Each structure stands twice: as C-alpha cells, then as structure tokens.
C-alpha cells in the first residue's frame, strides 16, 4: 500500500472481484480498504490461494489498467529499500511518476523499426580498454567499467556510442547524469547518433504530463534507451543491457527524499540483478568507484600517459599570497601566474574561465577593525552585501543592518570576509578594461560561450563549455573547497577542479590551468599530474584506516534527543556496530552515528527499519530521520 509507515512495509492479500479480473494486472494502481479508509496501493501479484487464515477484503477499484510498475523495477526497489532502511512505498514514489489519465488515453505511436547500426569506435580507441568495452556491449555481454575521461573529452558522444552498441545488440540502456545541462548535451548526442524516437530523456523540469508520456513510452517498450537525472535510474527499460552514470560524485545524484538512495547504487543494484553492463564515468574519480576497481568488480578504462600528455592542459599551482606586482592584478586578488595566464590567453583571442567557489557579491562580511564576523542583531545570522552600494542584510531573516555596530570593539565599518563570483567579476573587469565579462551561476547558468577573448566567471558546476576550449582556467579561493568540514571535502574539491580544468585547451595549443593553492597538497598534485586514480586510491585508503564509507557502512539518526534514544533502545543492533555521538545539529536536534563493516550493512539497515516500525506502530510523536551511507557527513 502507498502508505509511508514503516510497520506497514509488507504485502497484503485481497480478493479480486469478477468485474475487475480483466483489468487487475500485476503492476497496476489500485484502491483498497484498510483500517476503514480507502487507500492507494500497487497490485504486485495474482495467486490462486492465500496463507492468510482470516477473512479477506475485496479489491475496491483498479485506478488504471496500465501496468506501470515493471517487475524488474519492483525487484530493484525492494532491494534499494532494504539497503537504505526505507519502505517500499517510498522507493516506488521515486520510481514511478504520478499518473496522468489523459496521457494514458492518447493513441500509442509506432515504435521505430530496424536495427540500430554499430557505432564508430574511434573515440574509444584512445583508451587501451575502450574499444574492447564497446565490442563487448555490441556482442550482448555485460562488461563493468570505471572510466576516467581524457581532458577535453566529448563525453556525451562516448556515452552515446556505448548506448548505440547496446541497442545494436538488442538490449536496453539507462544513463543518469546530474543536471539539465548535462542531460541536454547527452540528449543531443544520442539523437544525432541514433536518430529520432530511439530514446527518451526524463527530468522533473519536463512537467508531470510530458514526463509521464515519456515514461510510458519506455514502459510500453517503444524506446530501448532512457537518459535522465537521478529518478531515471529506475526507468522501466526492457532487457536492460547497460547502466551508466556520469560524474557520480555530484551531490545531485543523492536523492533528498526518503530513503535517500544514491543513483549510482540504484544502477549497480539493477545491473547486478539483470546481468547488465556498467559504466561509471567522469573526469575525476570517487572513492566508491575506486572500490569497484579494488574489489575486482569492475575494470578500469583510462588513457595511457602519452595520450594524457597530448590532451591535458599545463597545470600550474600558485600561492594566493604572491600577488602580481601590477596594482590592478593585486586588487583582483590574482597571483602572478594566474594574471600572466589570463593575459596571454586573452591576447591570443581565447576565453578565460575563472572558477569562484562562492556565489553572490560578498556573501560574508566582518568588522574592519577587529575582523570579527558581522552578524544580525535580531537572529545572529551572517550579514552579506548584494552590491557595492547596498546595505548589509542578514542571509537568514533578510533584515537590513544599516546601523550595524560590532559588539566586540564598537567598530562600524565592514570589510569583505568572503568574496563572491559577482564581486570577483567586478574586480577583474576593472583589472582588464575592454574585455567582456560573463558570469554563470545560480541566477543564470550559461550552456556555452563563443571562441573569443572574454572573461567567464562561474561557480563550481556552472562552467559553460567554450568552443575550442578555454585558453586559461583559473581556480581561485581553493581554501573554500578544501577546508569544508565534510568527509568528501578533498574528493569534492578534486571533482570540481578536474571538471573545470577539462574544459581547457590541450597544453600543445596553449591551454593552461592555474590553481591558487599550496603545491604540496595531494589534491593539487593529482591535478598537476592529471592522475585522479592516484588520488581516489589514496582517499579510499584513508577511509579504510578511519572506518568511513565506502570502506564501511554508516548510518545517521537525526532528531530530537529523546526520539533518537528511543529508537536506539528499540533497535536490536547486530554485533560489532559502533555507536558514535551524539552530535548537535540544531537548536533542539542531535545526530548519532552508527558504524559497521560492509558485510553488516543489511543487518544494520533491517534493525533500524524494524525499530522505526515499532515507533510508527506506537505513534511516536517525534520522527527520526534514518540515512544509510549519507552523501554528507
């Protein structure tokens, strides 16, 4: 039943009346009476008899005769729910979009006929194992690979070729990307290679009607390939032969709704169940992807050093304390190396990408005299500036602070503590007069920029693609990424740097990347050598020593202290589970951490789910949020 209560996370038997016998197919939406109420549900199976000893109620209604719940998707959803200590009903809400009755009544278009031709192999031949991977897909086999893409790689074309090889073998494919920009690029590449009507792209931005229309095309077998954002990981593709995910370290792949599954794990679960090929790709590499290689579950697809030297830009670290002697460069906070790289690229008529980790103008200010962080007098929230002439306002309650006075020293003047992308654009515009300045960030994200001299300032993840590549890429304020209090700070910084640096021209064509950070940092060294595999192996080794995911399974329990303690008292935790905490996470909430070995993950999830079921049955007043292997710790 579509009821998100843990103690009801099981199947129930109902009698099917004769008038619903034809429409009550497994996979259809139905309504049943439960506890005196009419509730929604899913019909999972039809059997002749039941083990239930009591009297059975009747099925009330078949909402739709369309069997939208695929049996393989149901199987994967059950395993995902068990892994993440969730309920099947919650996972099915993620897997199947809401019904649109008018779409089901539309005429069914004809599916394309003819076999998909074998795709070209030239792009994958640059990787020693790439062509073999493509040939295995074309032969209907199920290879599993972790792919480190070359700098400047047209990754949508390579993924499209992998999908085409899978379709050529008569099997289906599901590909997941992080955001709408990546989806648009991949959709374009697939249309160019496969032709029209061979695949569908799924994303929430389509709207409920169009999304459901495309979902039905996949469920009815009219298309054999589905690409999309994280919810597309559950797409109902017949005879699944390939699952692929691009840039699996992006936090957008982590579902923010219960039970918080990660798209990568959903795809790996489906591949394991349906004997499908796997492709985990990116310019950087996560510890989870490295674990797939370390255990032998997957093989590596990476270019050799000769190919890397041919395609990689020149990467140079620079200390942000060594500013250029040019006063304009100093006011723009540019070290000499960054200033020279930008000036040379602009002189050659090439665009320059500047990555700034903070959005806005001045997202944080402090006292000019004592450097104490400026906070709101009403709610203690941080103050920020929206423009050069704006009054400081609170980022929490939005109240203006025109008469702000420092409580520590009595000072009344403010200074920039953190500089955002718009303030940096303003400073660089003054330092390089006459050069066009474009910004790409939360307010407006650019998809691409022309191959002409210009400054392009972007926040991480919003970098537009430049025609022919950027002449220089400047990675500023590295400390903002590296000093985050998070388990994945190093991995996330590397991912954002590699993704931006991959947009630069090859070193042989003058492409240069300047990262404003200490050259002794492991992340910087990996970028200089363009060796994401070395950094991922190092990161995985450190997590093994410390007992952090993915080397171990970890659960977080977040809620009011009494509620968290109540759940822990009810949970029959397996042997070997470590309980860490509590950690304060708010005014009235705390978080407990539970850690166990990889082999004990399912037992831990079951214990927490059962305890949540007992609290649900007792109608406990305060909820506890349970997350297994959360993306952020």
Annotated binding-site residues for Zn(2+) read 367, 370, 376, 379, 394, 397, 406, 409
Q: Cβ of 112: how many Cβ atoms within 10 Å?
A: 14
Which of 558, 539, 485, 480 has the alpha carbon at shortest distance from 515? 480
Instruction: With beta carbons less than 8 A apart as the criterion, state whether 471 and 345 touch.
Output: yes
Of 277, 297, 281, whose CA–CA distance to 138 is shortest?
Answer: 277
Which residue matches tokens 């503590």? 417
Residues 6 or more apart from 619 whose CB is under 8 A from it?
Answer: none
Give Cα separations from 181 to 186, 221, 258, 391 (angstroms): 9, 27, 26, 35
Which element (helix H / strand E) includes 13?
Answer: none
Among 121, 119, 216, 214, CA closest to 163 = 119
Question: In 3-state terms, what secondary structure has residue 195?
Answer: coil
Question: Rounded CA gap, 98 and 68, in Å?
Answer: 10
498, 378 Cβ separation under 8 angstroms: no
- Residues placed in the known binding site: 367, 370, 376, 379, 394, 397, 406, 409
Q: How many Å apart are CA 620 and CA 195, to the nearest integer? A: 55
**SS3 call for 540:** helix
Contacts of 414 (CB under 8 A, 6+ apart): 365, 366, 367, 368, 374, 383, 385, 392, 404
Between CA 377 and CA 391 the distance in angstroms is 15
**CA–CA separation, 360 and 391 (whole Å):** 14
Instruction: Put residue 40 in one of left, alpha, beta given phi > 0 → left and psi -120 to 50 → alpha.
Output: beta
End-to-end CA distance of the chain: 33
Residues facing 324 on adjacent strands: none
Query: Can you tell me the distance from the alpha carbon of 452 to that of 450, in angstroms, rounded to the nearest whole number?
Result: 6
What is the distance between the alpha carbons of residues 101 and 410, in angstroms, rounded to a whole number?
65
Pairing outcome for strands 299-301 and 144-148: parallel
Structure tokens at 594: 């539970």
Tokens 């002409």, residue located: 452
Q: Which residues contact 529 (CB under 8 A, 6 or more apart)?
A: none
Nearest to 274 by CA among 371, 366, 174: 174
Q: Which residues contact 306 (CB under 8 A, 6 or more apart)?
A: none
Distance CA 23, CA 42 (A): 13
């Amino acid at each position: 039943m579509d009821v998100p209560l843990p103690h009801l996370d099981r199947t129930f038997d109902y009698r099917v009346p004769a008038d619903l016998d034809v429409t009550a197919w497994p996979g259809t939406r139905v309504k049943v009476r439960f506890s005196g109420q009419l509730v929604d549900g899913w019909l999972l199976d039809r059997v002749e008899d039941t083990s239930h000893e009591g009297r059975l109620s009747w099925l009330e209604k078949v909402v739709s005769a369309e069997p939208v719940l695929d049996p393989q998707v149901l199987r994967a959803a059950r395993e995902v729910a068990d892994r993440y200590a969730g309920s099947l009903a919650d996972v099915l809400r993620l897997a199947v979009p809401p019904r649109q009755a008018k779409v089901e009544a539309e005429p069914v278009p004809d599916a394309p006929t003819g076999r998909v031709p074998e795709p070209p192999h030239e792009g994958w031949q640059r990787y020693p194992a790439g062509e073999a991977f493509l040939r295995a897909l074309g032969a209907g086999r199920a290879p599993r690979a972790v792919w480190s893409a070359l700098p400047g790689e047209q990754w949508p074309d390579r993924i499209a070729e992998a999908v085409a090889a899978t379709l050529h073998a008569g099997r289906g494919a599901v590909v997941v990307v992080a955001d709408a920009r990546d989806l648009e690029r991949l959709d374009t590449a697939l249309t160019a290679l496969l032709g029209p009507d061979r695949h569908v792209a799924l994303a929430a931005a389509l709207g409920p009607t169009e999304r459901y229309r495309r979902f039905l095309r996949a469920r009815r077998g009219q298309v054999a390939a589905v690409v999309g954002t994280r919810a597309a990981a559950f797409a109902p593709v017949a005879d699944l032969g390939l699952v692929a995910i691009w840039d699996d370290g992006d936090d957008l792949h982590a579902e923010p709704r219960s039970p918080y599954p990660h798209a990568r794990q959903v795809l790996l679960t489906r591949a394991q169940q349906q004997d499908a090929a796997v492709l985990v790709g990116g310019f950087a590499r996560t510890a989870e992807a490295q674990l797939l290689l370390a255990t032998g579950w997957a093989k590596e697809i990476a270019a050799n050093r000769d190919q890397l030297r041919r395609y990689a830009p020149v990467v140079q670290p620079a200390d942000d304390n060594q500013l250029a002697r040019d006063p304009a460069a100093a006011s723009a906070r540019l070290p000499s190396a960054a200033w020279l790289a930008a000036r040379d690229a602009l002189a050659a008529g090439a665009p320059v990408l500047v990555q700034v980790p903070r959005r806005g103008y001045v997202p944080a200010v402090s006292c000019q005299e004592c450097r104490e962080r400026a906070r709101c007098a009403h709610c203690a929230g941080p103050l920020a500036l929206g423009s050069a002439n704006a009054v400081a306002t609170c980022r929490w309650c939005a109240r203006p602070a025109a008469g702000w006075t420092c409580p520590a020293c009595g000072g009344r003047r403010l200074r920039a503590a953190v500089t955002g992308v718009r303030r940096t654009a303003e400073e660089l515009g003054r330092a390089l007069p006459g050069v066009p300045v474009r910004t790409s960030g939360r307010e407006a994200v650019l998809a691409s920029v022309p191959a002409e001299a210009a400054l392009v300032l972007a926040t991480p993840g919003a970098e537009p693609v430049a025609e022919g590549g950027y002449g220089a890429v400047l990675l500023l304020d590295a400390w903002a990424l590296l000093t985050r209090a998070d388990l994945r700070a190093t991995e996330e910084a590397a991912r954002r740097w590699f993704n931006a640096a991959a947009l630069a021209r090859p070193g042989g064509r003058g492409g240069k990347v300047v990262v404003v950070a200490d050259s002794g940092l492991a992340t910087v060294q990996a970028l200089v050598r363009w060796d994401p595999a070395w950094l991922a192996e190092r990161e995985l080794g450190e997590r093994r020593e410390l007992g952090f995911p993915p080397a171990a399974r970890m659960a977080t329990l977040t809620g009011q202290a009494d509620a968290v303690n109540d759940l822990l008292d009810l949970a029959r935790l397996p042997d070997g589970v470590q309980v860490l905490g509590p950690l304060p996470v708010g005014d009235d909430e705390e978080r407990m951490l539970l850690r166990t070995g990889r082999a004990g993950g399912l037992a831990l999830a079951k214990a927490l789910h059962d305890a949540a079921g007992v609290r649900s049955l007792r109608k406990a007043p305060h909820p506890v949020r349970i997350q297994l292997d959360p993306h952020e710790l």
